[in-house]
Every structure is written in structure tokens, then in C-alpha cells.
Amino acid sequence: MKRRRILIITICVVVIGIVLSIVLTRGTSPEGPLTTVNVTRGDIVKTVLVDGSLAMPNKAYLSFGATGTVEEILVAEGNNVTEGQILARLDAPSLESSVEMAELQVEIAEEQVKAARAQYEIAQINLDEGKMSEGILELQVDAARAKWKTAKLNLEIAELSLESAELNLEKAVIVAPFDGIVADITITEGEEISTATLATPAISLVDTSEIEMHGFIDEIDITMVQLGQEVNIILDALPKEEVKGEVTFISPTGTILAGVVSYDTTISLENPVAELRDGMSATAEIIIERHDDVLMIPNRAIRGTLENPKVLVLVDEQEEEREITLGLTDGINTEVLSGLEEGEKVILPAPEERQGGFFMM
């Protein structure tokens, strides 16, 4: 009897221990209280990310077209210049003399044309009035006409010589081809420019008002990208700057890098700021689709499958399963087309549920 009583007491103790263990385990669940999020309204923006760098497409590497001594440099690095402004010139007396001589030749030729025309007009008057025999007068008119024609040809030759001399003189001057900033000067006053150094850039000019971003888009995403799409640009060096852009070029041919096909894409910046520099690293968010002021929930709140998505809604402290219809997703939040109302509380899955749960692209 005594042994039986001890056995019964032992069994009771074990059962009580198991019950207490279950109760205590539930009461101290690592999940804690249910975690919920409110159904809210907001904007869902689907984007394609592109890494790349900034470039200023309007650059000019300017050099002299003639040999000689650098007479003066009229700008300094960092100066703003305007189109047509003279930046530097050579000491080129021979070229200047050639222009002056050509100008004189043009003046002489012009006077010769005037004189020949006057002789022709006089000969024509004499012919009309018949002051001499008609045959002689006609010969004089023909001779005057030929002399006038020759004088005009000589004037054309002189003008071409002047144009050539002026072009040669222009080669001794560096002129800004567009508005921009002087980025670099590699010459010094008094330096001799020889035939060997003619091709070396003397002054570098850049137009900072026009900036582009160049990057490569993976073949998986390229079909979603179209010309004219809006772009948000994030700069590593200037994270606080909000720069907008637009897709202006998509290469029709792909580039294979490490076995991956990608396409060169150009994005023009619409509001470049003064701090931007050529070559800066940047990330572009190309806006593929945008839905504003829509109902949305976090992707992690969605259960079920892509074909049959569901959520658990907390209603009067009770869990209620709902089927929902989904719209656009940005990879973090998803638009809810039906099944939920703004302000309702959606229950987030426990960590172990999320491991094999719903996944949104």
C-alpha cells in the first residue's frame, strides 16, 4: 500500500510539472504579444536601380594651330568664359603681316575693278554716240569688258588670300567654342610652341551646365526602362542633394561583363547643382511605375501565395484571416486593392513563419 501511494504521488507530481511547464512556456513565449501594423495610405513607387558616374559631355581640349611663342594667356584655371572669348594668343608677327598685306591687295584689286568698270562704261558711251567708227568702238568696248572681268577675278583672288591669311592668324589664337569653365592650362607665357607640341592641349574647357549620368542596366530590367522616364539621382559625395533626371539614351546593343549582358544608359540631369563634378559616383532610381495615395501594407505582413495572398487582421482582439487583392509593390510595401480598410490592424507573422512564408518581388 505504501509503495502504491508513493507511486501515485510521484505520477501526480510529474503531471503537475508537465502542466506547469506548458503554462510557463506559453506565458514566456519568445514571440511575446502579437505585432501589428496599421493599413495606411501612401505612395508606391517601382524603380530600377542603376549604378554609374557623372559626366560632362561638353568638353574641349584646345590647342594652337600654328607655331610660335606664347605671347599672353588671358584666363586662369577656374575662370568662367563665354563663347568667342580669346583665351590665349601667340606672338605671330609674320602671320599678322600676311593679313595686312592681303588686306592691301584687296584694296588695290577693288580700285582696279572700279577703274576697269569706268573704262568699260566710257567705251560703251562712245559706242552709243558713234564718235568713232563702229568697228573700233566695238573693239574698245570688248577690251574694256575683258579688263573689267580680269579685275574682278583678281579681286576674288585677293579676297581668298586675305581669308587664308586670317585663318592662319586665327590658328595663333585660342578661342572658347562655348560658354564654360577653364578646367586646365598647360602652357605658360613665353613658351615656344613647336610642330611637335601642336597636338598637345593647351587649355581645357568644360561646360558645367550640362551633366549626364552613365550606367549599365541588366538585361532583366532593361525591358522596363523607357526613354523619358523620370529619375531620382543619389550621389555618394552629396547625399543630401535631391537631383532629378530623365532617361535620354538606351543603347540598342548589349555589353557582356562577367557573363552578364547589360545595356549602356544615359540619364540627363535636370537640375545640376554647383557642387557636382565630372566622374562622381551616383545611383539612379528610374521610376518605372508610380501609384500615389493608395492603401498599402508591408510585404512581411502578407501570407499565403502569390495566387492567393492573405493577411491576419486583429478585430476585437481576435485574429481574422482575410483574402486580399494586391497591386503594385516596391519590394518593401505593396498596394492593397481590396480586402482591407485604412486603419485596420494587420498581424505580422512570427519569425519562424516568415522563413517559409509569402515572398514579393
- CATH number of domain containing 227: 2.40.30.170
Does some domain include residue 34?
Answer: no
One domain, residues 264 and 191: no
CB count in 10 Å sphere of residue 273: 12
3-state secondary structure of 134: helix
Q: Distance (Å, rounded) from C-alpha 102 to C-alpha 106?
A: 6
Q: Distance (Å, rounded) from C-alpha 71 to C-alpha 190?
A: 6
Q: Do residues 206 and 181 lie in contact, with contact meaning Cβ atoms separated by under 8 Å?
A: yes
One domain, residues 73 and 180: yes
Does some domain include residue 36?
Answer: no
Does some domain include residue 316?
Answer: no
Q: What is the DSSP letter of 174?
A: E
One domain, residues 163 and 66: no
- What residues in the chain have per-residue pLDDT under 50? 1-31, 355-357, 359, 361
Structural domain of residue 82, as residue ranges? Answer: 60-87+176-203
Q: Do residues 343 and 39 lie in contact, with contact meaning Cβ atoms separated by under 8 Å?
A: yes
> pTM for the whole thing?
0.64
One domain, residues 249 and 124: no
3-state secondary structure of 171: coil
One domain, residues 144 and 99: yes
One domain, residues 80 and 183: yes
Q: Distance (Å, rounded) from C-alpha 116 to C-alpha 120?
A: 6
Does some domain include residue 43?
Answer: no
Angle between helices 93-129 and 134-170 (to 10 degrees): 160
Q: What is the pLDDT of residue 120?
A: 85
How wide is the angle at C-alpha 210 spanned by C-alphas 205 and 215, nearest 5°?
A: 105
Q: What is the DSSP letter of 172?
A: T
One domain, residues 120 and 160: yes
Does some domain include residue 353?
Answer: no
Q: What is the pLDDT of residue 10?
A: 44
* Per-residue pLDDT reduced to its tens digit, 20-65: 343 333 333 444 578 999 999 999 999 999 999 999 999 999 999 8
One domain, residues 226 and 282: yes
Any idea what the CATH number is for the domain that residue 189 is in? 2.40.50
Q: What is the pLDDT of residue 21?
A: 40
Structural domains of the chain, count: 3
Domain boundary among 291, 312, 332: 291
Q: Give the Å distances, CA to CA, from 296 to 2, 75, 97, 330.
A: 69, 58, 80, 11
Q: What is the pLDDT of residue 46?
A: 94
Q: What is the pLDDT of residue 137?
A: 74
Residues in contact with 120: Cβ distance below 8 Å, sequence separation at least 6, in sequence order = 141, 144, 145, 147, 148
Does some domain include residue 188?
Answer: yes
